[in-house]
């Protein structure tokens, strides 16, 4: 692999090897114009004469490059060098699900159901997205599912944090379902332990094959191993997929076993038609904490239980899981969570109570623990937090009253993992409320918002106890906020976003006009230069398309670094978060903003076609479309409509997993 180190492929300089797979070598490289690390996948030299394998490799790049989904690895570019195809893709920080499960099981631990449901949600969303576009993965397995780390590195000895996201990789054996080229007779693509019966037979491959493989991955996460063990030969495993029913998942609830039976049905017509339906049934099977606690007896030895107690308290069936995360978010400061109330107290005592029986606090046996007997769904928000510049307010009407001698405390975890105590929350009027006044753009400092359960009074206010509720911005929103903060500094969001958008659209229209003038004058170099300007003005410095499109050695951006599209995205999020006196008007404004986003993205696509053109005749047919995409007047009219609106950013708050 060393022969490629230091070479430059297109705009990527190869830096070091990353790994080797069945079809390719993988390297870490650096994109020379974007100045960002990327992964480079290069077809093995001994395969370069195989025309079918080349087609498969290029099919992977073309198929995946068309996909834009947060749970699918992003492909940036692909080409052929010295007869060897390669693709340039997103470099993911984290580890594969296979590596994580191996480390977890080696420690005698298993995954909690809430974590499994979170992972299956992301994978299912990615699969449904790809299936809708005619792409079948054909090799779903833990080794092809990367766990993208969030604020802290992933450690198999610790539970996964909620900001860890599964990302599907390696569409190396993917096929477009509409393709005319079929797998050669006798050729089996995939991994035996995870293959569907019809995949083994080489007939009738469609989305349901991926759902079968996802079912095998789910089985492995629940039981610790795939249903048909690796101990036998690959041929024997294939026969078992064809002929044997998988053994029941040990200690699984009936609802879990039913969904496993459906996902792993031999007949594709009896399986789930969509992966999202499997994920939905899995959430329903663990939708109350009694079900989640009884799912697997082995859950008693999970990483969660080894880190701390699970506090269960309720009335009329309400159970609140308060998981001690100690060494996770708050370990970032090198602190150890304080034990609540000396060596024993309400939290520890409640953890010992039978979960099937409603109970009261041992210290207040005549008073209910909660103010509201309504069960709290684990996958629905129990309230929200609203950011207004330096202030934060939160209302959690679904939160139960804390036990006697305890109170809720609020913590802010920055995108870089810094933890800040914001103080105690108040419980009044059957709901939890919180208000905080800070400095600067508080939303840009918020990677996560956590609510913990602390002794009252708290002997150690700088250390966190049991994290009960949590919330976080969508990753794309968080990235846009960080970029805006870098550009606008401490300018209030309600000013920075509309004002930045207003300035950016002037640059956008101006350079769109310059593209048109260049086309009319027959100057392709000038058209390509201003197409680069429009791309970079639109996408912003963190955009996938941002770069030196005309290969003159300079990445030029006449606008600011945020980008027109990120400004529009942020404005949309703020409008969705802001209180509306007229819901119909709010819906109409969101619809108008979606239209502006569609035009901006379409212009971005047109500009990339101009920037990649080889002749003026190639871009002249694009002129009419480009001329219809001016946004200045539309954006200014829209900003005038929203001027009276109190623009805020809201974050939903959920039960901590």
| Catalytic residue positions, numbered | 139
Assign residue 134 a region (left: φ > 0; alpha: ψ between -120 and 50; beta: otherwise): left
d(CA 65, CA 277): 26
User: Coil, strand, or helix at residue 268?
Assistant: helix
CA 319, CA 648: separation in Å to the nearest integer?
A: 32
Apex CA 488: angle with CA 93 and CA 547, to 5°? 50
Cα–Cα dist 390/423, whole Å: 15
Neighbours of 506 (CB within 10 A): 16
Eight-state DSSP code of residue 345 = -
CA 377 to each of CA 113, 285, 325, 471: distance values in angstroms, whole numbers, following the listed order: 14, 12, 21, 15
Closest CA to 205 of 140, 115, 260, 258: 140
Q: The tokens 């946004």 sit on which residue? A: 631
The two tokens of residue 505 are 């659209």
Q: Is 629 helix (H, G, I), strand (E, B) or coil?
A: coil
CA distance 229 to 194: 11
Least Cα distance to 348 among 405, 394, 275, 413 occurs for 405
Alpha-carbon distance values, 17 to 34, 172, 264, 486 (Å): 20, 19, 37, 33
The secondary structure element, H or E, covering residue 388 is strand 383-388
Question: Could you tell me the CA-to-CA distances from 564 to 376, 507, 515, 530 in Å, in that order?
Answer: 40, 9, 17, 16
Alpha carbons 164 and 87: distance in angstroms, whole number: 25
The length of the chain in residues reads 657
Q: Residue 139 to residues 193, 212, 268, 279, 449: CA-CA distances in angstroms?
A: 10, 11, 17, 19, 37
| SS3 at position 573 | helix
Nearest to 37 by CA among 25, 29, 49, 45: 29
The Cβ of residue 417 has, within 10 Å, a number of other Cβ atoms equal to 15
Q: What are phi and psi of 448, to 5 degrees?
A: -145, 150
């Amino acid at each position: 692999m060393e022969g490629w180190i230091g070479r430059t492929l297109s705009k990527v300089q190869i830096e070091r090897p990353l790994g080797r797979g069945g079809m390719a070598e993988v390297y870490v490289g650096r994109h020379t114009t974007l100045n960002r690390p990327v992964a480079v996948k290069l077809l093995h030299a001994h395969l370069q004469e195989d025309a079918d394998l080349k087609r498969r490799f290029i099919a992977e790049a073309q198929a995946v490059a068309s996909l834009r989904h947060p749970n699918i690895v992003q492909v940036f570019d692909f080409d052929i060098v010295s007869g060897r195809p390669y693709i340039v893709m997103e470099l993911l920080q984290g580890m594969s699900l296979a590596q994580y499960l191996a480390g977890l099981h080696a420690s005698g631990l298993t995954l909690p159901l809430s974590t499994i449901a979170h992972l299956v949600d992301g994978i299912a969303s990615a699969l449904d997205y790809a299936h809708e576009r005619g792409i079948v993965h054909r090799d779903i397995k833990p080794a092809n599912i990367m766990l993208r780390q969030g604020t802290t590195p992933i450690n198999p000895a610790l539970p996964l944090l909620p900001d860890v996201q599964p990302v599907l990789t390696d569409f190396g054996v993917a096929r477009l379902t509409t393709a005319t080229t079929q797998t050669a007779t006798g050729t089996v693509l995939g991994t035996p332990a995870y293959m569907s019966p019809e995949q083994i037979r080489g007939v009738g491959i469609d989305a349901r094959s991926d759902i079968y493989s996802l079912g095998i991955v789910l089985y492995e996460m629940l039981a610790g191993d795939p249903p048909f063990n690796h101990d036998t030969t690959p041929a024997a495993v294939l026969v078992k997929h064809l002929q044997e029913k998988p053994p029941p998942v040990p200690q699984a609830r009936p609802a879990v076993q039913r969904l496993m039976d459906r996902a792993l049905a031999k007949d594709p017509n009896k399986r789930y038609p969509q992966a999202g339906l499997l994920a939905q049934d899995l959430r329903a099977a663990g939708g109350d904490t009694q079900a989640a606690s009884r799912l697997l007896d082995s859950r008693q030895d999970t990483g969660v239980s080894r880190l701390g107690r699970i506090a269960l308290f309720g009335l009329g069936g309400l159970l609140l899981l308060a998981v001690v995360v100690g060494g996770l978010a708050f370990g970032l400061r090198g602190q150890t969570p304080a034990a609540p109330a000396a060596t024993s107290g309400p939290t520890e005592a409640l953890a010992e109570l039978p979960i099937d029986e409603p109970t009261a606090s041992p210290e207040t046996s005549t008073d209910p623990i909660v103010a509201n007997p309504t069960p709290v769904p684990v996958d629905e928000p129990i309230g929200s937090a609203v950011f207004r510049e330096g202030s934060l307010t939160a209302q959690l009407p679904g939160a139960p009253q804390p036990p006697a001698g305890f109170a809720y405390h609020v913590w802010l975890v920055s995108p870089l993992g810094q933890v800040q105590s914001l103080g105690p929350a108040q419980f009044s009027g059957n709901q939890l409320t919180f208000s905080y006044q800070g400095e600067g753009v508080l939303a840009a400092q918020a990677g996560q918002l956590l609510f913990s359960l602390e002794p009252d009074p708290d002997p150690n206010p700088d250390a966190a106890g049991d994290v009960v509720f949590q919330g976080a911005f969508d990753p794309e929103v968080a990235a846009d906020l960080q970029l805006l903060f870098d550009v606008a500094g401490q300018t209030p969001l309600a000013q920075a976003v509309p004002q930045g958008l207003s300035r950016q659209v002037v640059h956008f229209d101006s350079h769109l006009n310059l593209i048109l003038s260049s086309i009319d004058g027959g100057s392709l170099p000038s058209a390509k230069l201003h197409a680069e300007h429009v791309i970079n003005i639109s996408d912003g410095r963190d955009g996938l398309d941002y770069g030196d499109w005309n290969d003159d050695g300079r990445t030029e951006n006449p606008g600011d670094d945020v980008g027109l599209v990120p400004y529009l995205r942020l404005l949309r999020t703020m409008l969705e978060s802001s209180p509306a006196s007229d819901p119909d008007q709010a819906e109409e404004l969101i619809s108008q903003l979606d239209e502006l986003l569609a035009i901006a993205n379409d212009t971005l696509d047109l500009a990339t076609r101009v920037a990649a053109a080889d002749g003026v005749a190639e871009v002249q047919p694009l002129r009419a479309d480009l001329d219809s995409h001016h946004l200045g007047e539309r954006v200014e009219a829209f900003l005038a409509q929203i001027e009276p609106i109190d623009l805020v950013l809201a974050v939903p708050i959920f039960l901590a997993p």
